[in-house]
Amino acid sequence: VCLLRPEPDMEELSCILEGVLGQKLQHDYNGVELVCFEQQVVEMKEFSERMCSCYMDLMKNTDRFSFFVDFFGLRDFIHFLKFLRRSAPPVEDSILHITAEVFVNALERNFNGIDKEQFANMCAFFMAKGLSSCDQIKPVLEKHIRDPMEVINDALSEQQTNDVSRYNLPRYKMIIDHTNDDSVTRLLQISGVLNSSHAFYKLSGIDEGAEIEKLNLVSKVKFAAQYGMKTVVLSQVEGVSECFYDLFNQHFKEFRKEDGEVSYFANIAIGGVSRPCLISPSFQCIVHVQSSQLANLPAPFLNRFEKFQLNIDDILRWRLKQLTPGLCDILSQSLQHSQDFVESIGANSVWSPSAEDTLKSIYISLIRPEVRSENHSLLETGTSGDSIASDVLEFILNNFDVDMTVEDIQSCIDSARVEYRSSKDGVELERVIDCVSKGKIALPFEDVRNDCLRTPLSRALKQIILSSITRCVVIRLLQLVRPDALYLRRHAVPGEVLRLYFGEQEHFSLKRLIRKLESNNTTSQFHIVYARSDSCAHSLPTWSNNDGIDPSILHRVRSLVHDDPSTVEIHHLDLLKSESEIRTTFDGWVSKELVNTFILVVDMKMQSTNIVNFIRSYVEQATLSSDKQFILLLHFPLSCDQSIYPALFFGKWSCIFLDGIGDADGNSVDFN
């Protein structure tokens, strides 16, 4: 049973508005000064009528704003008013001063979480009806509507003010994720928006032991809320969200001690008992939900939070803005070249629900949260490095997170020289490169960084860096390309791409892939391997050194996985019956010094993405010794042409597609 109170009428809304805004004023108030378009002072009654009428019209306008009634409610409106009150100090004793920037920021913080077009239309409606001006709305919105990541960063960095009244506590936050693998929270961690001061709690949805796991999670949140030392990030917690009804609503009871200190309490349900729990004013909570879940979330639950919607494009755009003009332009051009490559092989050739998102995730992963400090004497003189290629490599490594060698750079230099040979700059370029090689001219890296290309050398240097980055991205993307699709389009693909794919990467054998990963010291320690559910996938045995040695199992491990079975551990997710068993199994492997590789086999026909997300969230928090690697082997029914689980290159994870798990002793492909 869900009991909903009726929406307030105009008179009730007006009382709420005047009560909320009046808390800021020490005396009787006369009006509000609006400095949005032209400076004007309106009476509080008139301002109240405008704002309340605007809110009621939005709630009733089911044609143009059909999303509003399902997504927002009275609590959002009240917090919108509180934000105006907090951010708009009185100009005089009885006047509130509201600027266009403050007004739009209040909307961004309290009526957000919808797509950009819906938000812009809603803002325009608020400003036209609430502020009675239409002529300058568009330029005002263009000036003041911020990038979603800026708004989230601003919201999450908000500190509790000295006024610890419960009426002034910051709202808790909700992040709506358009990926299905929690990549947005992973990206916020990489970007530093979420950090070690945040505690991450997630439920798997596994039935066995679920009640105990729920109780443990509620207890952890209760402890964090009491002491307020960490911001709590909750994900996949639908089963316990009602335990925090009062907490999420910030429906706190105040108790004042004899010395005047105020304590806050909220009812939190642990098991079947709801008890008052002490809440620190500094406690903050972030609820993470998938966009696909929104239709199942009731509006009263959504109304409790500041809501923010994020997708891959939002994060890429924000990360590009943090780069210098030259570096931003290099990545933008490189993205276009990579998109052309995907178009040439066909987007459905990439084992991913969205090849576009996969590609953009690679570019996001290239951008470091902070640029490394550089040894300028090395970068600005051609004599300090062994060659031009080594200097270019150091510049790239200082600015981008890539795996690249001098040989890769030299290949791009040779290609650039061929490309410029027929141009008017060709002769000059060859002469300059010769001088640089002899240490007579410095490489103009700062020109490239600032996109100030005044010479043939600076233009060629940018082209070399651009080609190197694009080559790196294509190599990483190739890890997810299906061999059958690439073969069908082999005539449209450069020969070097075929050589890299069939000659240097591994797509046909799990055993050879593990051998390659072990020999690559720069690779990630966490891997998602996508494969088809063939007989080899189903015949992979459960294997641990603690098991008795069964000759047939030992033979299969040596045949399909590793020549030295003592260095690997294999488990099937469907045999691990609870969260506790998953944690115990993984932690046991981490403590084994001589067992380097852990393989968790997941049949995606039987398991949900929530369980996979839980496993990834847990294992990526572990600190592994440098020789260890975790492989999450997801195998899909043979009827699948595309992955039903996202393939995104974020955080500590690499993504690889295997066309087959067996064929460990098969011959290499003749790509010629």
DSSP class per residue in 234-262: EES-TTTGGGGHHHHHT-PEEEE-TTS-E
DSSP class per residue in 208-231: TTHHHHHHHHHHHHHHHHHH--SE
* C-beta separation of 376 from 479 below 8 A: no
Interval 438-461 mean pLDDT: 83
pLDDT, mean over the chain: 85
Which helix (H) or strand (E) covers residue 379, if one does?
A: helix 376-379
Of the pLDDT bands very low, low, confident and very high (cuts 50, 70, 90), residue 62 is: confident
Give me the half-sphere count of Cα atoms (radius 13 Å) on the Cβ side of residue 436.
27
Radius of gyration of the chain (CA): 29
Q: How many CB atoms lie within 10 A of CB 83?
A: 21
- Parallel/antiparallel/unpaired status of strands 231-235 and 285-290: parallel
Interval 36-59 mean pLDDT: 81
Report the C-alpha gap between 359 and 403 in whole angstroms: 16
Interval 138-155 mean pLDDT: 91
Interval 378-385 mean pLDDT: 39
Report the C-alpha gap between 332 and 98 in whole angstroms: 39
Is this prediction's pTM over 0.85? yes
CA distances to 157, 369, 461, 523 from 468, rounded to whole Å, are 37, 21, 11, 18
pLDDT surpasses 50 at 510: yes
Of the pLDDT bands very low, low, confident and very high (cuts 50, 70, 90), residue 424 is: low
- Position with higher pLDDT, 248 vs 271: 248
Give the SS3 label for residue 670.
coil
> Residue 329 has what pLDDT?
97
Interval 179-183 mean pLDDT: 87
pLDDT surpasses 60 at 161: no
> Residue 546 has what pLDDT?
63
Q: What is the DSSP letter of 135?
A: T
Q: Which residues contact 56 (CB under 8 A, 6 or more apart)?
A: 7, 10, 13
Strand partners, 575: none
Of the pLDDT bands very low, low, confident and very high (cuts 50, 70, 90), residue 279 is: very high
pLDDT surpasses 80 at 664: no
Interval 432-448 mean pLDDT: 76
Which helix (H) or strand (E) covers residue 471, if one does?
A: helix 456-478
* C-beta separation of 613 from 181 below 8 A: yes
Give the least confident one: 211-220, 406-415, 453-462, 543-552. Answer: 543-552
Report the C-alpha gap between 213 and 568 in whole angstroms: 29
Of the pLDDT bands very low, low, confident and very high (cuts 50, 70, 90), residue 624 is: confident
- Please check whether the two domains, 166-312 and 506-658, share a CATH topology: yes
- Position with higher pLDDT, 420 vs 28: 420
Of the pLDDT bands very low, low, confident and very high (cuts 50, 70, 90), residue 383 is: very low
Report the C-alpha gap between 170 and 156 in whole angstroms: 10
Strand partners, 42: 32
Give the homologous superfamily in CATH for domain 506-658. Answer: P-loop containing nucleotide triphosphate hydrolases (3.40.50.300)
* C-beta separation of 125 from 114 below 8 A: no
User: Scanning the structure block, which residue is given the tokens 């470091």?
Assistant: 368
Nearest residue to 542 via CA among 510, 514, 512, 573: 573
Report the C-alpha gap between 443 and 441 in whole angstroms: 7
Long-range contacts formed by 122-130: CB under 8 A, 24+ apart: 122/58, 122/65, 122/68, 125/54, 125/57, 125/58, 125/65, 126/54, 127/36, 127/100, 127/103, 129/50, 129/53, 129/54, 129/57, 130/50, 130/51, 130/54
Of the pLDDT bands very low, low, confident and very high (cuts 50, 70, 90), residue 485 is: very high
> Residue 203 has what pLDDT?
93
* C-beta separation of 444 from 461 below 8 A: yes
> Residue 576 has what pLDDT?
94
> Residue 326 has what pLDDT?
96
Nearest residue to 125 via CA among 136, 116, 108, 137: 137
* C-beta separation of 403 from 522 below 8 A: yes
Report the C-alpha gap between 18 and 670 in whole angstroms: 78
Please, what CATH class does the domain formed by 166-312 belong to?
alpha beta
Q: What is the DSSP letter of 548?
A: -
DSSP class per residue in 648-665: ---TTEEEEEES-S--TT
- Parallel/antiparallel/unpaired status of strands 31-35 and 95-99: parallel
Give the SS3 label for residue 470.
helix
- Position with higher pLDDT, 149 vs 412: 149
Give the least confident one: 85-99, 236-250, 481-495, 630-644. Answer: 85-99
Q: Which residues contact 623 (CB under 8 A, 6 or more apart)?
A: none
Interval 439-450 mean pLDDT: 83
pLDDT surpasses 80 at 554: yes
Token representation of residue 185: 């929270």
Of the pLDDT bands very low, low, confident and very high (cuts 50, 70, 90), residue 137 is: confident
Token representation of residue 664: 């460990």
Q: What is the DSSP letter of 176?
A: E
pLDDT surpasses 80 at 657: yes
Tens digits of per-residue pLDDT, 302-350?
A: 999 999 999 999 999 999 999 999 999 999 999 999 999 999 999 999 9
What are the extents of the domains in the chain? 10-145, 166-312, 326-369+387-479, 506-658
- What's the full length of the chain, in residues? 672
**What is the CA angle 316-321-324, rounded to 5?**
125
Q: Which residues contact 304 (CB under 8 A, 6 or more apart)?
A: 75, 171, 172, 248, 249, 250
Token representation of residue 426: 């060709």
